[in-house]
């Protein structure tokens, strides 16, 4: 037993999806899993019909002492190995949503957890900047004061992460495949599981050992098991929000970068750019717009999922008193009238996190929609320049078709004169006595007119080519100067 923390204990809560679907395959947990089962130190229960929770309590040492907190990584790996053994050959890491470490003690202010990352270390410790009403997620009290030793209410709070060295990353996924657990930045995409890691502290004040064990059993391992009903929904909240938050944040950065780059391009440079360059930019804008709409659809669906999870948690909290009375099988002489406080006159800290996440996703949506409108303005500019060139090309083609039609018609008339000079001579009485001269005049007219039209036609396109080349050259000079 730790003389400084005689009531210190900790547990792990793993959350999995019951079913998983992607474009290539469909998976579900083994049919042999019942809604609730026990296996050594592992307790599993179905949550909301589509999630499965595994609760692992590290066993005490042979001496009877509870495991020290500095061995949490070892027990985390042991619990992970035991859970994988439950799935046997059908284990799917894509279904893993995250794990929460719950520390139980008289006070959690002195406890902290360190975990390695790809960029250094992360230290999880109690929040110090917030007021108690802000950081305490819920309280458990003894209604009639029968337990005299319970001088302070039981409080649940979340530990915050502190990075060494400092980094902009705030979305990490836990990796348990190695010999030692570590954290890595989340990956953007629906096909990445990105399991989250969270640390919570449950402080119950100074209690006799028997009373502390009874209270911890009531909150964690008994039929009531309040933490088995609260922590899974907090894990769902974090898993759903973090994946969408990082996807939306990276999309916003890309949109900002694209828009800033397009904004710096004046119309003079667009006039100098080639058609392929304009078409490539338009294709890139269209692709960016499609990707953004996909992320917006995910963010919208994620916000609705958070609202559903918030409603489910609030409904359970409102019915907590009735549920406890129904499930609590503690003998009457040892039973206590526990009451749950999860809201006050102004705040509901346990639910405020859901509301904050929903507002953040709505803010992402508004920002991305505005950025897309901005991008659409640039796409219109690019399209106008490209359409203007196409109109010019169409005009040149129309002129060319008109010239060719005129040449063909004139050639037909001249050919008629050449082949049938006697018939033409009847119409032209002045040359009726010399048909050969009519044929000769026809050939001269054909050659002269064709040569004249070709000169005009060639000069027209030669001028257009020089003009286009001059625009490119002047644009190149402006870029250099």
Mean pLDDT of 171-198: 83
Q: Which of these, 168, 197, 178, lies nearest to 97 by C-alpha position?
A: 197
Give the residue, 73 or 475, on which the prediction is more confident.
73
Cα–Cα distance, 382 to 265 (Å, whole number): 10
In which residue are the tokens 């346990």 written?
Answer: 350
In which band, very low, low, confident or very high, does the pLDDT at 340 lie, cut at 50, 70 and 90? confident
Are the C-beta atoms of residues 99 and 73 closer than 8 Å to each other? no
- Rounded to an integer, what distance in angstroms lies between the CA atom of residue 424 and that of residue 42? 111
Q: Name which of 19-28, 147-156, 377-386, 420-429 the model is least confident about.
A: 420-429
Average pLDDT for residues 174-181, to the nearest whole number?
Answer: 80
Helices (H), 420-434: 421-427
Nearest CA among 278, 280, 279, 271 for reference residue 478: 271
Residue 222 to residues 215, 342, 348, Cα–Cα distance (Å):
10, 20, 26
Predicted local distance difference test score (pLDDT) of residue 366: 95
- What per-residue confidence (pLDDT) applies to 358? 94
Q: What is the DSSP string of 224-237?
A: S-HHHHHHHHHHHH
CB contact at 8 A, 201 and 126: yes
pLDDT in tens, 69-100: 888 998 999 999 899 888 888 888 889 999 99
Q: Is 142 helix (H, G, I), strand (E, B) or coil?
A: strand
* Total length of the chain: 481
pLDDT value for 343: 74
3-state secondary structure of 206: coil
Res. 416: pLDDT tops 50:
yes
Query: Global pTM?
Result: 0.77
Taking 3-state DSSP, the helix, strand and coil percentages for the chain, each rounded to the nearest 5, stand at 55, 20, 25
Q: State pLDDT tens for residues 38-70.
A: 777 888 888 888 899 999 988 876 656 777 888
Compute, in degrees rounded to 10, the torsion defined by CA atoms 216, 219, 223, 226.
-160
Please report which helix (H) or strand (E) contains residue 320, including its range.
helix 320-327
pLDDT confidence of residue 150: 56
CA distances from 60 to 71, 217, 248, 435 (A): 12, 15, 44, 125
């Amino acid at each position: 037993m730790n003389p400084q923390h005689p009531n210190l204990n900790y547990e792990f809560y793993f959350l999995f999806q019951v079913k998983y679907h992607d474009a290539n395959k469909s998976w579900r947990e083994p049919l042999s899993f019942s809604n609730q089962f026990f296996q050594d130190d592992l307790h599993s229960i179905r949550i909301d019909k589509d999630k499965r929770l595994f609760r692992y309590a590290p066993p005490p040492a042979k001496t009877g002492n509870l495991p020290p907190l500095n061995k949490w990584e070892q027990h985390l790996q042991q619990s992970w190995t035991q859970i994988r053994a439950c799935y046997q050959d059908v284990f799917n890491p894509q279904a893993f949503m995250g794990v929460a470490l719950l520390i139980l003690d008289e006070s959690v202010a002195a406890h902290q957890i360190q975990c390695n990352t790809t960029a250094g270390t992360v230290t999880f410790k109690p929040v110090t900047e917030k007021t108690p009403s802000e950081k305490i997620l819920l309280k458990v009290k003894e209604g009639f004061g029968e337990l005299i030793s319970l001088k302070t209410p039981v409080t649940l709070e979340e530990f915050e992460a502190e990075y060494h060295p400092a980094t902009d990353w705030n979305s990490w996924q836990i990796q348990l495949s190695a010999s030692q657990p570590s954290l890595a930045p989340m990956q953007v995409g629906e096909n990445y599981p990105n399991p989250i890691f969270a640390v919570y502290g449950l402080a119950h004040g100074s209690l006799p050992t028997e009373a502390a064990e009874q209270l911890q059993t009531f909150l964690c391992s008994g039929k009531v098991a309040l933490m088995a009903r609260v922590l899974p929904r907090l894990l769902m909240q974090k898993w759903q929000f973090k994946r969408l938050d990082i996807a939306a944040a990276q999309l916003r950065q890309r949109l900002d970068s694209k828009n800033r780059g397009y904004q710096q391009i004046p119309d003079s440079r667009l006039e100098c750019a080639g058609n392929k360059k304009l078409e490539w930019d338009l294709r890139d804008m269209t692709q960016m717009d499609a990707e953004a709409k996909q992320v917006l659809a995910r963010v919208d669906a994620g916000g609705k999922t958070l609202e559903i999870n918030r409603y489910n948690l609030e409904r359970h909290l409102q019915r907590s008193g009735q549920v406890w009375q129904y499930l609590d099988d503690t003998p009457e002489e040892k039973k206590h009238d526990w009451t749950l406080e999860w809201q006050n006159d102004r705040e509901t800290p346990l639910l405020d996190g859901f509301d904050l996440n929903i507002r953040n996703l709505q803010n992402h949506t508004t920002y991305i929609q505005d950025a897309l409108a901005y991008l659409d303005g640039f796409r219109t500019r690019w399209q106008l320049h490209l359409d203007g060139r196409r109109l010019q090309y169409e005009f040149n083609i129309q002129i060319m078709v008109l010239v060719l039609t005129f040449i063909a018609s004139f050639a037909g008339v001249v050919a008629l004169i050449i082949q049938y000079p006697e018939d033409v001579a009847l119409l032209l009485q002045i040359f009726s006595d010399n048909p050969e001269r009519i044929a000769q005049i026809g050939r001269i007219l054909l050659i002269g007119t064709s040569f004249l039209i070709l000169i005009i036609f060639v000069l027209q396109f030669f001028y257009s080519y020089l003009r286009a080349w001059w625009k490119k050259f002047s644009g190149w000079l402006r870029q250099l100067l």
